[in-house]
Structure 1
Amino acid sequence: MTRIDAAAAMNALLKSRPDAGGRANSTATVPVGAKVPDDRTAHAKVVSQANPLIELQVLQRIRTIAPDDPQRRRKAFRIFMESVLLNQLGRSLWGDPEFNQLVDKVVQQIEDDPSLHESSLMAAEILIEHSCAME
């Protein structure tokens, strides 16, 4: 089983993003008349481009979260982040006890940034909507 260096894993993930916040670089130019998707569209696109089997597993796991659970959005986003990190860092990390710690750290860092936290809640709502649509 592969051991995880949390700092190296986080660094690798962030390097794969346009900037540390995962948003398009503010200095990038957008052609005149180009349609720029809002955050909800962008999050939905990420979900829809996922491996169909992984997407199904993520949505099934989210669907099992009780509708009245006060932590529902946080849990839904954590499940999503877990799948993103496994996809980026390798499925061989599944079951590694340090992997759960890494996911917790990533989610906590996102929650500590107000802008990212708001985006994570929006993503969670979309994920929950998609999981409910499976019924």
Structure 2
Amino acid sequence: MTSINASAQIAALIRSQVASLRKPSGPATAKKQTKQGQLQEERDIAGLIAQRVLVIDPNEPQRERKAFRIFLESVLLAELGDELINDPAFYQMVEDVQLQMESDPELASAISQAARLLLAPQKNS
């Protein structure tokens, strides 16, 4: 296993796919500002994901699928814009994307691994 965990790899894949749909960004100063704010944004997203995953019922039969769904929704909202949170078509798109990802055996394995990491008890270090 590499030093980058499965959830980070999947997030990077999703971000690269979304970025390929966008137009090139502006001047270098805008890129610098983006890099400075990116770490805080990633922390915010990670915290939101952790909070939402915590409320999944431990007895839920589709617990791993729901955890990954939360992760996928959060990454896509961060990349495409929070205004989509009120758009029912967004949630259908997320479902379609998740089903497509799950249909690939290798990706399904990585998704399962990422979900287990999302659901793992948090340790205070």
TM-score, normalising length: structure 2: 0.67
C-alpha separation between the residues in 2 aligned to 1:134 and 1:104? 31
User: Structure 1 residues 79, 92: CA separation in 2 closer, same or farther (over 3 Å shift)?
Assistant: same
Unaligned segments of structure 1, at least 5 residues: 1-35
Unaligned segments of structure 2, at least 5 residues: 13-38
Residue 128 (str. 1) matches residue 92 (str. 2)? no
C-alpha separation between the residues in 2 aligned to 1:113 and 1:42? 15
C-alpha separation between the residues in 2 aligned to 1:133 and 1:117? 24
What number of residue pairs does the alignment pair up? 96
Over aligned residues, Cα RMSD in angstroms? 2.5
Q: C-alpha offsets along residues 40-72 of structure 1, whole Å, 9 cap, x if unaligned?
A: x2425759x662222111111111111121100
* Aligned residue in 2 for 1:43: 7
TM-score, normalising length: structure 1: 0.62
1:95-110 to structure 2, matched below 5 A, reads 95-110=86-101
Per residue, is there more helix in 1 or in 2? 2
Amino acid at match of 1:133: Q
User: Structure 1 residues 42, 74: CA separation in 2 closer, same or farther (over 3 Å shift)?
Assistant: closer
Identity %: 41
Amino acid at match of 1:125: R
* Aligned residue in 2 for 1:90: 81
Between 1:112-121 and 1:86-95, the stretch displaced more is 86-95
